[in-house]
Structure 1
Amino acid sequence: MRILVVLSCLMGLLGALPARAAATADVFGREIPLGQGRPAVVLYANRDTRDVLRENALRFAYELRREHPIVVVHVDLRGIPGLFMGAASKEIRKIHHDSLERIRKLFRDQGQQPPADLEDSLYMVADSNGAPHRELGLEKGFRQVLVQAVSPSGRELARGPFPQAAKAIGQAIESLPPRRLVSSISR
């Protein structure tokens, strides 16, 4: 009996670890550079809002290309049973890859070269416990994507439903002062 109690406690502890890491890392384990010098557009979605992102998010990110934001997509997986979390994360990695290919095509279709750091500009997070979503008041099974503009220092600038608030989010990002490049000589 004691062994079962110890094992269940260990399983609970191990189950909690990825949720804590999800706040700072994407599905590839990369640190998300929020508040580290670049503005960000953060989208809060779930599997029911996938079509909204597919139809609107890439074009929106392309329109903000001059501001060079990072795009972070938090996917709420609260409705996914624990046994299927690995498959859900694998699907999000596939969507990440497909999204990068689609944005590269969008740049080429516009006669432009895709940015060299494109892969370092898109982060997808599999939130197994939905903590970031709950903090913003999004209940399990929400039907509306939420978008947030974040300053280069990590401060929230604006928030609203997506795509309805896209113009306001774009204006908040565009209103930021231009980033200055400091040469290593002047340091």
Structure 2
Amino acid sequence: MAAKCPYYLDLSAGEKMRRLYLEAEHEDGYYRDRCVFSQLIDIEDRISLSVRYASGAIMSYSLNSFLPYEGYRLFVNGTEGRLEMFVRESSYISGDDSVQGELLPGSSLTIFPLFGAPRAIELPEAKGGHGGGDRLLLDDVFCDEPRPDPLKHAATEIDGAYSILTGIAANRSIATGQAVKVDSLVRF
């Protein structure tokens, strides 16, 4: 595959990648031997969608799954101003031993009041994947004594279902060319 694909990643070059992927192929039958841009790959690598919530709020979402880093730009417009967040994470899998999803320099949070000067909010330093969120999630799920959560940040199984339902609705919309109501996909 290396001779045919300019994006080939040699999974055998590093112990971590070799053990995680190559040595597990017999477990699930999934062989990671295709070029990510091959016509045989049918997973969307670019997607854009609009979501209208029952409250009237609208979300615009864009995904590009082939960039050299992961992260997101979040913009929230409201009656009191605007919030802008830019998060860069080291999720590119290069075969080294870097922490996937660790917050990179350049991430920022800025509040733009409707009447007033913008102000930058310092982001707390966090270790681990997804800006430190992976550790918190694992603690919420597996620790006998969960950490205090006065702001109710911990997601429930219903939150998880709604999260995946947005993606399921997006895939159905791609397949049919029609808008899809999430409520039509499931009943709670």
Report the TM-score when normalising by structure 1.
0.25
Structure with higher Rg: it is 2
- The structure whose RCO (Cα within 8 Å, separation 6+) is larger is 1
